[in-house]
A and B are shown apart, each in its own frame.
Chain A
Amino acid sequence: MVGQRRGAAIEIAGLRKQYGRDAGAVVALADIDLSIAPGEFVCIVGPSGCGKSTLLRILAGLDRQTGGSIKVAAEGWAVENAMVFQESGLFPWMNVEANVRFGLMTRGVPAAEAAARVEAALKLVGLTKFRHHYPHQLSGGMRQRSAIARAFVTDPAMLLMDEPFAALDAQNRVILQAELVRLWEETRKTVIYVTHSIEEALSLGDRTVVMTAQPGRIKQIIDVPFPHPRNLMTLSASPEFGKLKLDIWRVLEDEVNRARAEAEK
């Protein structure tokens, strides 16, 4: 499943999402323009309610935009995208193996090929021994690993991740972040990663998109200058990392305060 080709290029132009009509309308997303290069790892941060999850859901085909366009150059890829959800979304009635195989089963991948790919994916996330366990028998970290395996096994052109590690404890989060970066460095899929943690965005991505709340707009796009392969522990201890984090926090702080003032009006 490790290919040298890079993931899809994504071109988002004038994207808008609005709930309801006329006076009662709530604009969740407005004027979203974003070009993502093949194989890029883009993180999206923003205050809660800034529509970052909505953007991801539209990209995943789970929601439809009110206006604007999305072009995903995924020619030659069997699967355009796969999403890793916040709380894993593993089916409780399937064991790890069946969960990981799900996206292959739905697409009619021949059994022998599916078995080999599942095997490789399980190995990739270190869950081979737990293949017959049910989700309720796994720790939170193992559940998210299974969810990641389920996404990677379909070999998607882009990977959509919605705060996948938010529910984990700090140690597990760091371990899984490092694993994800390693997987991405090997496979070079296009990744769009939504998080509310600046630190996470800086550790993982090539670029960080900062969004504003209500309506969700792109406030700023920041290039993350740290080269790959990355060591997340030494990276987060470096002064450049701290400075960048502070810069982004200042941008975000305005937004958080504005959103709060809006709410109290």
Chain B
Amino acid sequence: MKQKPQKPMSDKSIERLLYLISPIGLLAVWQLLLMAGFGDRRFIPAPSDIAVRFAQMIGSGELALHTAVTLWRIAAGYVIGAVPAVAVGLLMAMFRPVRLFFDPLIAALFPIPKVALMPLLLLAFGFGDASKIALVAIAVFFPVIVNTYVGAANIDKIYWDVAKNYGASQTVMFTRIVFFGALPMIFAGLRIALAVSFIVLVAAEFVATKAGIGYLIWNSWELLQVDVMFVGIVTIGILGLISSALFQEIERKVIPWKGE
């Protein structure tokens, strides 16, 4: 950062303010229009109505329950999908036969909308958490494996040469060179996977479950509790925001060489 003369309001705080204007402005217009009598507040709740309901549901513990269920499914599915994806992606970059084996599978399965697998997974894993976790795992697997492979395959040739010249075994190559060399791309994949896992899980929770944010949203549609629906949507937004911020922090810790 270059040193700049101190002004009454620095460029940065103006930027931060601009950043907040559009969402706050949108909420204000929404609220004012409803208060002025445009629209039916039973079907379109005002932001204040949603906030009240939000507080209520936090107080009753209902929101915490649904959130916990959703987060558990995401966390479990994420780990189950991401860990093998990283391992296989690295092996694909290191060994040609592994790549030849997995390439057609990925090419064929990646474009399938993963939500389309839900009925199959219900058949295989039943109506409990397992089917949702499996769906998240499958959805996470593909963006992570593709990013890992691309990251590992594009490691600068000089690092392979150095490692070879300095006596690296296959194991060292795998754990010290290929893994770390691919790490920035692995993280890019993990980030995409995080968004994807929220998308598929909420859709999956619309059916065949009695808990989770997706269930909350769908159930309140059936009961026409539009304010609860919005609470669910806002909760997903907040979870996404928090997890993405957390992710950024982890990335900064784990990839210190990525530069400032």
Contacts and interface: CB of A to CB of B under 8 A. Distances in A.
Interface of A: 57, 60-62, 79, 81-83, 85, 87, 89, 91-94, 102-103, 105-107, 134-136, 150, 154
Contact of A106 (B161, B169, B255, B256): B169
A106 B169 CA distance: 7
B181 interface: yes
Given A91-B180, A92-B257, A107 B165 contact: no
Main secondary structure on A side of the interface with B = loop
Interface of B: 158-159, 161-169, 172, 176-177, 180-181, 183, 255-257, 259
B166 A102 contact: yes
* B164, B168, B180, B257 — most chain A CB neighbours (10 Å): B257
B161 A103 contact: no
Contact of B166 (A82, A93, A135): A82
7 contacts: A62-B161, A89-B162, A93-B257, A103-B166, A106-B167, A106-B172, A134-B257
B167 to A, nearest CB: 4
Contacts of B165: 60-62, 81-83
Given A91-B177, A134-B257, A85 B169 contact: no
A61 B158 CA distance: 14
User: Which 6 pairs, one residue from A and one from B, show the smallest C-beta to C-beta distance?
Assistant: A93-B180, A103-B166, A106-B167, A89-B162, A89-B158, A92-B257
Contacts of B167: 79, 103, 106-107
Contacts of A93: 180-181, 183, 255, 257
A62 to B, nearest CB: 5
Contact of B161 (A85, A92, A102, A136): A85
A61 B164 contact: yes
Contacts of B168: 102, 106
